[in-house]
A and B are shown apart, each in its own frame.
Chain A
Amino acid sequence: MAIRVTFWGVRGSIPTPGPTTVKYGGNTACLELRFGPEEKLIIIDAGSGIRELAGAILAKDLKKGPINTKIFLTHTHWDHIMGFPFFTPIYIKGTNLTVYGPVSFEEDSLDSVVGGQLQYKYFPVNMGELQAEIHYERLKEQEIDLGDGIKLTTKYLNHPITVLGYKFEYQGKIFCTAYDHEPFRNIFEVSPTDPSYDEVAIREGALAAKEENDKVADFFAGADLLVHDSQYTQKEYLKDKIGWGHSSFEWAITSAIKAKVKHLVLFHHEPLRGDAELEKLYCNLVNQMRAKTRTRLTLSLAREGASIEV
């Protein structure tokens, strides 16, 4: 095994506990990555799923010494940071944590957005009271050598705020995230009778959207494992979800096939969708995919507690 990915939270937008989500899980985004035989730990996102991951880390890693890890936030929307105050290693002296992520506006630093949840009006503990050594580092589109042979590349995606996709390369294997993400589209496309109709902008917009979508596809091309946003069906998306910053199952699958991804995990499940509906959709999608193409893509639904190794 080069990389093992464990899903601790797979739900989009808000935690959805209850009988209809028992199988796939109701916690919001959190992924545990383990690299190589040393099982070096890296975390992606601090949604509500990170609370249970914290318990697992304390049981498994703390006995080997103080926790020293990195959390990579895809973005700072609440469902991706809400679990941070419940990540118990931050209350333990000796923990060394670096939180990485993009920020959208210059005036909002990462530490104020993420750590700012720890203040008395929201939470009984104030950021200044934490025992851990916590550093915050803003990321842009860049490449970073994380040491131990792990290379990270980041890519801006399309969402109402700045989001980064992450690509980890280790021992010849590639693991990527592409969430929260909606396909780039030509937002200048309007009817010729619209007063804001601008032919040059429409042409430029069409080209820009295509090129940006190609760049995202290039980013995860050939990935051994891709975790992609698939909050909606294509029908739901076209009906009234355009511009909400999420992809459809169909878009995720088509993009992954085109980019020759080996294993696609459909992620960021819609809060209103229960286990039964999710499985029905999945069966239909697999059947459609097999009927239409001869792809060898492996397709999975992200499920809380599941691990995938590449």
Chain B
Amino acid sequence: MNDKAKTIAVIKTYISKMPSLPIAWSKIQEISKNPKATPADLNQVISLDPVLMGRVMKLINSAYYGLNNQITSLVRAIIMLGVNTVKNLALSTAVLGGLSGKTNFQALNNDGFWRHSLCVGVAAKLIAIKRRKDPKQLEEYFVSGLLHDIGKIPLNNKLSAEYVQALSLTDKEHLPLYITEERTMEVNHCEVGRLIVNNWNLGPAMEDVVFFHHFIDSYPGENRDVVLTVAAANYFANSFQIGFSGDRYPEPLPPALFDELKITRDYFDELESKVNGEIDKAKIFLQVAHQ
């Protein structure tokens, strides 16, 4: 087994019992035990944690329920399967996360990563709204944005020392993080993300977003709209420094992307206050102290 194959094997083992982000643990447990919690509370707490969202989506789409169509919206899942079932799924996932031990973020910290993920999810949804996308698809844009960097969690937690090196290399050489990840670990977070999305069976659109959000020029597929939107939202989050996901020197977006999405750079200024407002609301909901 070569080094890359060994790294992938370690990551795959980690993915199989990947813990939820500690930020949502206590809230999901509180909501699951509170009979007065509303469907909106449940939707919100799951939507605020990329790992929890991914895992709940995985369970909903698993062979266990045998649903005929892939569900990419949590709102729909709660209406179809009921609040109790989804609460139970979320709780079992959160408990599983708790048993797996506290995540040991070193290069990236939880709060920064969480803010970045949420920012990209919210921004992707707002861009989709501005572009008058079908209301049915809006949640898919949000979930795709929320999960786009999920591949960083195993790298950061399982290969912590190498990940610190990758981050310092971006600072030293002003390179995008995915390139320094490849240099230090032979894999990037997009490849790792794809392993997770496949393991969780989250469907082709999510897979393409996670795998291609840094490689939009080479993206051949049919989920182009959501991939480009998340790439734009990710660039927005990095350049406006909302949260921190390790990418201090992202590659600039090709101008053609703005044309294709029919947005301008000025629109990002408009987006900033809206996204920050959403993150603040989420913080209050989760009762996490501002840092």
Closest to B79 in A: A208
Tell me, rounded to whole Å, the shortest Cβ–Cβ distance linking B32 to chain A: 13
- A residues within 8 A CB of B135? 200, 203-204, 207
Name the A residues within 8 Å of B40 (CB-CB): 188, 190, 194, 196-198, 201
Q: Which B residues between 38 and 80 are near A, CB-CB below 8 angstroms?
A: 38-41, 43-44, 64-68, 73, 75-76, 78-80
B18-46 residues with Cβ-Cβ distance < 8 A to A are 38-41, 43-44
Contact with B along A181-215 (1 / 0, CB 8 A): 00011111010001011101101110111001000
Which one of B38, B80, B85, B125 contacts A196 once the chains associate, using CB atoms below 8 Å? B38
- Whether A204 contacts B64 by the Cβ 8 Å rule is no
CA distance A67 to B39 in the complex (A): 46
Are A161 and B80 closer than 8 Å at their CB atoms? no
Q: Which residues of B contact A185 (CB under 8 A)?
A: 79
Q: How far is the CA of A161 from the CA of B88 in the complex (A)?
A: 11
- A149 contact set on B, CB distance < 8 A: none
In this assembly, does B101 line the interface, its C-beta being within 8 Å of a C-beta of chain A?
no
B204 interfacial by beta-carbon distance below 8 Å = no
- Evaluate contact between A104 and B138: CB separation under 8 angstroms: no
Residues of A near B129 (CB, < 8 A) are: 200
Q: Are A212 and B80 in contact (CB under 8 A)?
A: yes
Docked pose: A184 CA to B75 CA in angstroms: 13
B33 to chain A, nearest CB (A): 16
Q: Are A187 and B79 in contact (CB-based, < 8 A)?
A: yes
Q: Given the known inter-chain contacts A188-B40, A201-B43, please indicate yes or no for A140 contacting B66, CB distance below 8 A.
A: yes
**Does B82 reach chain A (CB closer than 8 Å)?**
yes
Task: Provide the B77-103 mask, 1 if CB < 8 A to any CB of A, else 0.
Answer: 011111111001000000000000000
Cα–Cα, bound, A104→B89 (Å)? 11
B112-156 CB mask vs A (1 if < 8 Å, else 0) is 000000000000010001000001101100100000000000000
Q: A141 to B69, alpha carbons, bound, how many Å? A: 11
Residues of chain B within 8 A of A197, CB atoms compared: 40
Q: Are B43 and A188 in contact (CB under 8 A)?
A: yes
Q: Are B68 and A141 closer than 8 Å at their CB atoms? A: yes
Q: Do B43 and A198 touch (CB < 8 A)?
A: yes
Hey, which chain A residues are within 8 Å of B68, CB to CB? 141
- Check if A204 sits within 8 Å of B138, measured CB to CB: yes
A186-B79, A204-B135 known; A160 vs B66 contact (CB < 8 Å): no
**A142 contacts chain B at the CB level, 8 A cutoff:** yes
What chain A residues lie within 8 Å of B38 (beta carbons)?
190, 196
Q: How many residues of A contact B (CB 8 A)?
A: 31
A142 contacts across to B, CB distance below 8 A = 66
Q: What's the least CB distance linking B185 to chain A, in Å?
A: 35
Q: How many residues of B contact A (CB 8 A)?
A: 30
Nearest chain B CB to A19 CB, angstrom units:
37
B80 touches A204 (CB 8 A): no
Structural contact, B66 and A187, CB atoms closer than 8 A = no
- Closest chain A CB from B58 CB (angstroms): 13
Q: Are A208 and B76 in contact (CB under 8 A)?
A: yes
Q: In angstroms, how far is the closest chain B Cβ from the Cβ of A44?
A: 20
Partner of B76, one of A190, A198, A200, A204: A204
CA distance A160 to B81 in the complex (A): 9
Chain B residues with Cβ below 8 Å from A122 are none
- Given the complex of chains A and B, what is the CA–CA distance between A161 and B82 in angstroms? 8
Contacts of B125 in A (CB 8 A): 200
- Bound: A72/B234 CA distance, A: 51
The docked-state distance in angstroms from the alpha carbon of A208 to that of B139 is 12
- The residue among B39, B65, B88 with the most chain A CB atoms within 10 A of its own CB is B39
Residues in chain A near residue B73, CB distance under 8 A: 204, 208
Q: Are A140 and B79 in contact (CB under 8 A)?
A: no
> What's the Cα separation between A159 and B78 when bound, in Å?
12
Instruction: Report Cα–Cα, A156/B79, bound state, in Å.
Output: 12
CA of A194 to CA of B82, assembled, Å: 21
Quick check: B64 and A196 within 8 Å, CB to CB?
A: no
Minimum CB distance partner of B77 in chain A: A208
Give the residues in chain A near B80, CB-CB below 8 Å.
156, 184, 208, 212
**By the criterion CB–CB under 8 Å, are B65 and A184 in contact?**
no
Residues in B whose Cβ lies below 8 Å from that of A187? 39, 78-79, 83
The answer to whether B85 touches A162, judged by C-beta atoms less than 8 angstroms apart, is: yes
The CA of A142 and the CA of B65, in the complex, are separated in Å by: 10
Which residue of B39, B67, B142 is within 8 Å of A188 (Cβ)?
A: B39
Q: Which residue of B lies closest to A163 (CB)?
A: B82
User: What B residues does A188 contact at CB under 8 A?
Assistant: 39-40, 43, 75, 78-79
CA distance A106 to B44 in the complex (A): 24
Contact check, B65 vs A204: say whether CB atoms are below 8 A apart: no
Contacts of B66 in A (CB 8 A): 140-142
Q: Does A105 contact B (CB under 8 A)?
A: yes
For residue A158, CB closer than 8 A to chain B, the reply is yes
What are 24 inter-chain pairs, A to B, with CB distance below 8 A? A104-B88, A105-B85, A105-B88, A140-B65, A156-B67, A156-B80, A156-B81, A162-B81, A184-B80, A188-B39, A188-B43, A188-B75, A194-B40, A200-B129, A200-B135, A201-B40, A201-B43, A201-B75, A201-B139, A204-B135, A204-B138, A208-B73, A208-B75, A208-B80
